[in-house]
Structure formats: C-alpha cells, structure tokens
A and B are shown apart, each in its own frame.
Chain A
Amino acid sequence: MDCMVTGGHVKVLATAIHSLSRIGEDLYLQPQEDELALRTVNSSHSAYACFLFSPPFFQQYSSCKSPTFHCKMAIKCVQAVFRSLSSLEKMVERCRIQLNSEKSRLTFTLHCKHGLLKTHNLSIQDCESLQAVFNKESCANVLRAQPRLLVETVLHFPTSVEEVSVSVSSERVCFRNHVEEEAEQSKAVLTELSLSAKEFEQFTVGCPGRVTFCLKEMRGLLMFAESSGLPVSLHFDEPGRPVILSLTESVLEVNFVLATLSEDSHLCNHFNNSTECHQNPALLPDDFMNDDIDSYLIAMETSELASGGSGCPPTLPRKASMGQLRARASSEGEEEEEEEEEEMRRPPNEKFRSLFFGSMLPTSSQATNQTLRTQEVLASDSENEEEDSSF
C-alpha cells in the first residue's frame, strides 16, 4: 500500500485516528482496492468503530498486492504520529503512508513546513480481518442532526457519566444519564435533556422506546463529527440491539456500532410469561445455546423473523431479548441454565454484550440449519485461524 494524503485531509485522517483511539487499543488496517478501512473494537467487544476512506480521499492511492491483507498495530503508536491535532493543520503539508508487508512495517512520512520531514516506522502485526456486520437500514429509528446539537447535548453530562439512555417518541428525544438500579436513587444525580424533533434534520421513529449505551464511544465519534462538521445519524431500535452512529460523505464513511443495555426491568415483568419466548421455539436451536452466542443477537433475529422482515412495527413485542432466552433456558432446565444465571449475576454495566463471537464462523458449516442460515451475523471476529480454514 502506498498512499498520499494532502492538505486538510491530513487532519481528517488524524482526527479519525484520535477518534478510534477513544474506543480500542489496536488499529486494524485493511487496504483494499476500493477503500482503506481503519477499524477498532473495544476490549469488551461492546463497541466497534470503522472509518472507510475511498480512493478520492487520497491524492494518490494504491492498495496492496494481496487484496486480503490485514494488519493491526497499537493505536497509540499511530496516534503519536499525529500527536498535536492543532498544529497539524498549520505544519503538515502532506502525509504519505507506505506499507511494507515483508518488513512488517508501516511508514508514515509527514512533510511539514520549513522542509521538516518526520518519518515514523511502526511495526505491524498480522491479524485476521475485523468486520462487524450490521444493517443500518433495518433500524426503525433514525435521527440525524448537525454534530453541534449532539456535542452540546453530551456536554451536559460530566465525564463520570458512563452510560446514556436515549428515549424517543414521535415528537421528542430525551437524553438521560443511566443510573444503575443498585445505586441509591436518592444520591444519584439525574441529568435529562429533551430535544424536539424540529432540531433534527431527520427524525424517523418507528419504534418508540429507550436504549442505553456507553457515552465514551459516542464522545469519540462526536469528536470526529465536530471537527469534520458532518451530520451524525443515530440508528437504533429496541434495547439490547446495537445503536449505530454514522457519518457519510462522498469520500468517507464512518460507522460506530455500540451495544445497548438489555432492559432488566422488563425482564422481571415478563420472566414468567414465556409465551413470547415460545413464539418461535424452532428459532432457538439448542446447539445455538451451546455455541455461547450472544443471546441478544439470536433474539434480534427471532424478532426480525417474527415481524416478517418488515422492519420493527410497534406491535412487535419489544421486551428485552435476554429475558426471553433466560426464561427459555430455565423453563427447559437445560445445562445452559448455569451459564445464564451467571450472566444474571454480573453487574449491570457488564450487560453490554459482545458484538463479536468467535463461534460464529462454524455457522456456515452448519448451514443445514435454517435458522443459522437466516441468522445475520452482527459481527465476526475471525481470530481463530482453524475456523477460517474450514471455508
């Protein structure tokens, strides 16, 4: 790979790196013929971020000889290349990125004012591709706004606030800091901001309700959005299903996929009401459970199938997906029960489920199962080479 970034695009690239560094520790780089992908995932695999730069973003772009080349490196090392975002615009005239796969080295050359040349040779590691599979179009709720609006909204939450709940109705959206149920309500500080639909460029609510997700990653995206001035779209529907924050421009696409909290309050109410759970019993095959697949993903599929793929009508039971699974596990008394119970004992903030699961790949080999075929993989992290070779 050999590419050149010039002028203001250097800052865009640098801001993207800084934005990704808010999420994960490794930067996954995949130079392809039609785009350069920079991705990361957080340590608990509950947040995934991806920047796709198309060739016109670069003054010059040539991808790798091998179209399937992937590599990763510590993101803070790349961040060090673009340490000062403020001076970057003034100082750096162009940036060349070269990949030497034989030497496992990625070279950033910054051509700065006054002839100063900065060369950073970073060591890279081979890795499998990191790719989350998600579908923004299937989300019932889409809110699009100028970054300023969201930045100013988030500004009201102190940095100690980890999670934010977003509830939407047809006219309003409300941002509120999430207070764990165990926490003493009387001592907790509640901050709530209500925004009118008029403030948004797009305000489509097909599935009114509330989702809770981590603020930290959203701040990371907003940092980039604010700097680039591009409108931010929020795609989401029911609790437990991911929220997707995205920015799109002709030469650039940004997607942040964040896990949302499953709603335990709903769980309690519906725990014994297993009718919903048995709505589609065939859709929850036992080998699925053995596969330790993140339960909400299964439920996501079941609900989609239940709704006949027609999006997410409000009539659809919006109850927390995990509840369905747990109810099922306990009612059938299977050996997964223990596992499920263990999950229930976890502190609430760990309920952001992984967006990735290594065991997803075998699904292709088990394609005889109809459910598995229809199962949409939200994200796959094919670190396991053995599984990969089974293709």
Chain B
Amino acid sequence: MPLSTQSEAGDERYVLVASLDNVRNLSNILKAITFKDHALFNATPNGLKVTVEDSKCLQANAFIQAEIFQEFTIQEDSVSFQVNLTVLLDCLTIFGGSTTPGVTTALRMCYNGYGYPLTLFLEEGGVVTVCKINTEEPEDPIDFEFCSTNVTNKVILQSDSLREAFSELDMTSEILQITMSPSQPYFRLSTFGNSGNAHYDYPKDSDMMELFQCTKTQTNRYKMSLLKPSTKALALSCKVSVRTDTRGFLSLQYLVRNDDGQICFVEYYCCPDEEVEEE
C-alpha cells in the first residue's frame, strides 16, 4: 500500500482522515445525491453524512458509516465543511471510474480543518493523483423536523418495482401524487400529464411490499422536478421506505448495497406541493 506509508508522517495534523480501497463505495453513493453543486460534509466518529439541498424544499442525505472505510480517524466530535460536489466527483473518478473487476481506485481523503482544502490521494495501478479541493463556508442544513413519531403512513418496497414505475412516469406531469391508504388503493402513484392521467397501484399484499403500515388515507402532491433526482438513489438501492408525516412531508429512504456488500443509506425529504382538496 504505497498510500498508507507515504503520508503517515503528517497524519496527526489532519482533523479527518478517511481511506477506502475502492473509491466507488463513496463515489456511487455521492452520485445518488448529485443534483446541486454544493454539498455539506459532516463527519462524526460514526461516519460521514453528506447533505445536498434544493429550493429549501428538498434535502438529500447520504450516510457512509465509519465501517465502510478501511481507515476513519477523526480528531474532533464533529467536522463540517462544504465542497463542490461535482468537482469532488470528477476527482474521485479521475481514473475513469473503471468497473473492470479487480481494478479499483484507492482513496485517502484528508482534511486539515477550517480554511484548508480537502486533499484527496487517489491511486490506481501504482499511479497516484493528488487533488486539493477548496472548501467553502459550511451552511447549516434545513431541519425538516421529520420525526418518526409523526409518521402517518409507511411502506417498504423492493426497489425493483418502484424503479419500473419511476422510469415510466409521465414527465409532462408537473407533480407526482402519492396516495397511501389503509384501504384501496393502498399505495398509489399518480401523474397528470398532457395526454391524460396515469396511476400505479401497489396492493398491500404484493410480494414487492415488505412492510405496509398505513393508518390514514393521505393524498399529497410533490413537484416532479424535485423528486426526479431521487431516481438516481432508487437506481442504486435494493429497498426503499416511503413515509409521510402528519404534515404531508415525504421521506424516502433508500438502502444501498455497495460493491463489497456493505449497506449505506440515502435519504430524501420533500415538502408537499399543495393541499389536496378532500374528495
């Protein structure tokens, strides 16, 4: 491991050092939340949380637990910085992001503290690239106050079934309407586009439905443009949990299995578009 011997001497001055044998375990999950340039990184001894927001209505979080990293050393309780996510991803895939088995890019990510750039050492096949990305002033993320005690309805679906629906959604529809109900239609996705409307109904006893906990009929509309980025997470995931709270806020939690079979999470929060008149 040429990387680990190279920079060991100076490790103490870094407030954060994280190493990965396979950079794809980080880059893939970051791709699932790439819809705006600025990403807030928050590292704690538990791992790394990356947050991206849009229009104060949508928030995406990726959680990469400390165990995913081969090395995860943090000198403080919490380290936060903001970087340009597109630039970071470009650097992480600087060797082309090859998917050839046996060929992986190793990463050592170091951060020196407030005011310092984020330093990446990337190595593939004996070639080392050092990238320094300027960090930005971290902004506080929005608190969506989505609390599990306020959850009205919750379903867990296998991602396959939802993936198909999302790939077919009528994108001429401005909104995606989600209906969750203890009675029919149980779980329904609806679009209202130029050509008419479309509904996707999932019965509660479907093989695809792993959990069905709906207490009250709820119909909420969400902006399609806001939800669209979540399809990237859906594409990576194997299961998805869909929850709505009393206010109609939507939480989508994706369980993502990485190349090494480890589990990470991606979470999307979205505000409802408008009140739907009760029928």
A-side interface residues toward B, CB under 8 Å?
A: 73-74, 76-77, 80-81, 83-84, 87, 91, 105, 114-123
Contacts and interface: CB of A to CB of B under 8 A. Distances in A.
Given A84-B167, A116-B206, A121-B198, 5 more contacts: A77-B196, A84-B164, A114-B208, A116-B165, A118-B201
A80 B170 contact: yes
Give the interface SS of chain B, mostly helix, strand, loop or mixed: mixed
Contacts of A119: 198-201
Contact of B199 (A114, A118, A123): A118
Contacts, number: 62
20 contacts: A74-B194, A80-B168, A80-B170, A80-B195, A80-B198, A83-B168, A84-B167, A114-B208, A115-B205, A115-B207, A116-B202, A117-B199, A118-B168, A118-B200, A118-B201, A119-B198, A119-B199, A120-B196, A121-B197, A123-B196
Contacts of A123: 195-196
A116 B200 CA distance: 7
B17 to A, nearest CB: 45
B206 A115 contact: yes
A87 B164 contact: yes
A115 B203 CA distance: 6
A117 B201 contact: yes
B160 to A, nearest CB: 9
B251 to A, nearest CB: 22
B161 interface: yes
A122 B191 CA distance: 12
A73 B195 contact: yes
A124 to B, nearest CB: 9
Given A114-B161, A114-B207, A114-B208, A84 B195 contact: no
Given A119-B201, A122-B195, A114 B206 contact: yes
Contacts of A116: 161, 165, 200-203, 206, 208
Interface string B204-239: 011110000000000000000000000000000000
A93 to B, nearest CB: 13
Given A83-B168, A84-B167, A84-B168, A105 B206 contact: no
B18 to A, nearest CB: 39
Contacts of B161: 114, 116
A313 B172 CA distance: 55
A150 B194 CA distance: 37
Nearest to A77: B195
A77 B201 CA distance: 19
